[in-house]
Chain A
Amino acid sequence: MGKNIDEKDVVLKVEHLVKRYPVKKGVFGRAKSYVHALEDVSFELRRGETFAIVGESGCGKSTTGKCVLRLTEPTSGTVYLDGEELTALSGAELTRARQKMKLIFQDPYSSLNPRMTVADIIAEPIDIAGTYKTREERDARVERVMEAVGLDLSYKYRYPHEFSGGQRQRIGIARAIALVPEVVVCDEPVSALDVSVQAKVINLLERLQDELGLSYVFISHDLSVVKHIADTVMVMYLGHAMELASADELFSNPLHPYTQALLDVIPRIADERIQDKRILQGDVPSPTNPPSGCAFSTRCPKCMAVCRERVPEKFEVEPGHACRCHLFDESLSEAERQFVAGKEA
């Protein structure tokens, strides 16, 4: 896509992000246990690129997005935006830094205020920042943004309920790009839409990225969409980053057993039988009581003795391809490599 951008130009850097929600128990409401929403998540987003986070429901994808924006406070870890430590800022400083980031929501119905006109919704970031002195300049900007996302200007004074899901998502996108942010966190932006509309919205996002030099954190559970749009992909499971690689590498050479299982269940139009697919057994364990050792050990088809005991390190199997799995630990003893059947314990 013609991205001749400096490889080292990292716009967003996340290090060791942890989020635990206390669960109140007992008479005095003391926190006795935690929901482990995020465990040690790190990644980098280069300018003009798309970083995708994939995983099942409840794996911490959206929590990652919200922690990056500090809409929820991370328990620990740091987020750098443009080299500035976002997690250390507060008050007016945070407000200023956060204006470089925007969020596109999953649900196009609850993300727009039903009492505001389209123009006012799109203009909100402009009004708050006070970018334009006169009403005319502001309105002109709103019209330019509406044109950029393919909204008819006659919709300016309509209300969100008059629109379809795809058009509402365009309004949400227009609001996000009104002031041309650096980073846009797209939290499942197309999963609430029809497939035909999905394609249009994805194309719109790609066009805007090219035109405005946006960087996306793209959160999705839809691997085919991710394959299309992402430059780098991180696979998450139960709050852990399991595998991180460039999109081409990940889809052609998945290393982690979980990634392999995910890719295996993508529906394809071919004469293949469902019986041939390796479908994961069991459910995702509760994040309140995660399994000891590797989070995926309870469902992993290649589970070894060590997987039940120790959390695997992150192994850089190939340059730019990291995987959190004991299979790639060369130093394991024979006893530790002992194969354990998938479903017990």
Chain B
Amino acid sequence: MALLNSDKSSRKVQEAERVAAGAAEALTAERTGAPARRASSYWAVSWNIFKKNKLGMACLVVVALLVIVAIVAPVLAPCDPDAQELSNMLAGPSAAHVFGTDEFGRDILSRVIFGCRVSLSVGVVSQAIALVIGFLAGVFAGYFGGKVDAVISFVIQVFSSFPFLLFAIVVMFVMGPGLVNLYVALGLLMWTSTARLVRGDVMRLKGSEYIQSCILSGGKSWRIIMKHLLPNCVSTLIVVSTLGIPNAILSEASLSFLGLGVQPPMSSWGQMISASQPYIQSNPNYSIVPGIAIIVTVMAFNLLGDALRDALDPKMRS
């Protein structure tokens, strides 16, 4: 009995020791475990914050879906978007054509799915072109100042004093219609807002003490631009992009309407809306479906941009 008892008590002691050891281990792990935070880099932390934003996540899903739709359009589309069915023009919704057909009897759903390719690519590619040109111009103007700034600012003034659409028409007319030319034309037109905002940011940041410290350590301009200026301009660039992408999508619609954008029979949402104008009463689906597509895309990009800005700004982190 006594033997058993002592065995029990020793077991208890062992148990207590085990718990204590576990706690101590946890404590030291907490202390030394911190260097293992390497994984939580700037982007990892941003992602963790972004994940908590439900609206942002929803928009990310929408944008991701749009991208997937654009990529696998041929698989998703129930019909060939260019196949004409002249006996079935401007038909209402049916089992074969969920949203009906257009004035040539083409399936509206398929054309919207294929239009996603054009609209997204125009938005993303032309904004990417604008971002690169605008960032470089803004950085050079703001960082080097003086005559460089005077010249670049003058060019920005000239570019932004033209009426947007008129200038776009001239550029497209000179280069000829087509998708690639559309990217370039819109990119060349949209860089000024990026450049202006980046220039302002850079002028504000240029005098900061960490840049002085970098200069003092012998840091070259390239390092200052890439390590200090670019990361501090990221939120500006994201905001500009979220406004620029939907803007480009809408501009593409306008240019396509004028016959200078996407060439038929290739479909784009803007082109569909303008083509549907005469039939808006007889077949409302024809304009509503691409219209909703544009609204959803534009809103998703805008809200995604807001969420990204919150996640990327270190000051928003608690």
Contacts and interface: CB of A to CB of B under 8 A. Distances in A.
B216 A98 contact: yes
B149 to A, nearest CB: 16
Interface in B198-224: 208-210, 212-219, 223
A249 to B, nearest CB: 33
Contact of B213 (A103, A115, A117, A155): A103
Nearest to A71: B212
Given A110-B208, A124-B219, A154-B37, A159 B314 contact: yes
Interface in B219-266: 219, 223, 227-228, 231-232, 234
Contacts of B314: 114-115, 159, 161
A339 interface: no
Nearest to B38: A157
A176 B213 CA distance: 9
A102 B35 contact: no
A161 B213 contact: no
Contacts of A5: none
B147 interface: no
A290 interface: no
B210 A113 contact: yes
Given A116-B227, A117-B42, A128-B223, A103 B210 contact: no
Contacts of B228: 113, 115
A154 B42 contact: no
Interface in B263-314: 314
B34 interface: yes
Contacts of B54: none
Nearest to A108: B209
Given A107-B209, A111-B209, A156 B216 contact: no
Contacts of A155: 34
Given A95-B218, A124-B219, A161 B232 contact: no
A221 B317 CA distance: 35
Given A110-B208, A154-B37, A175 B213 contact: yes
A266 interface: no
B26 to A, nearest CB: 15
Contact of A153 (B35, B210, B227): B35
Nearest to B39: A157
B218 A129 contact: yes
A99 B213 contact: no
A157 B218 contact: no
B31 A154 contact: yes
B218 A105 contact: no
Nearest to A92: B218
B28 interface: no
B14 interface: no
A152 B35 CA distance: 10
B161 interface: no
Contacts of A158: 37
B217 to A, nearest CB: 4
A251 B109 CA distance: 88
A125 interface: yes
A228 interface: no
A112 B34 CA distance: 22
Contact of A101 (B210, B212, B216): B216
A156 B38 CA distance: 9
Given A114-B232, A115-B314, A125 B37 contact: no
B31 to A, nearest CB: 7
Interface in A151-193: 152-159, 161-162, 175-176
A125 B218 CA distance: 8
A24 interface: no
A343 interface: no
12 contacts: A71-B215, A105-B212, A105-B213, A111-B209, A113-B208, A116-B227, A128-B214, A129-B217, A129-B218, A156-B34, A156-B37, A159-B317
Q: Which 4 A-B pairs have the closest CB atoms?
A: A154-B34, A115-B231, A111-B209, A95-B218
Given A71-B215, A124-B213, A124-B227, 11 more contacts: A101-B216, A103-B213, A110-B209, A111-B210, A113-B210, A115-B42, A115-B234, A117-B41, A117-B42, A152-B34, A155-B34
Interface of A: 69, 71, 95-96, 98-99, 101-103, 105, 107, 110-117, 121, 124-125, 128-129, 152-159, 161-162, 175-176
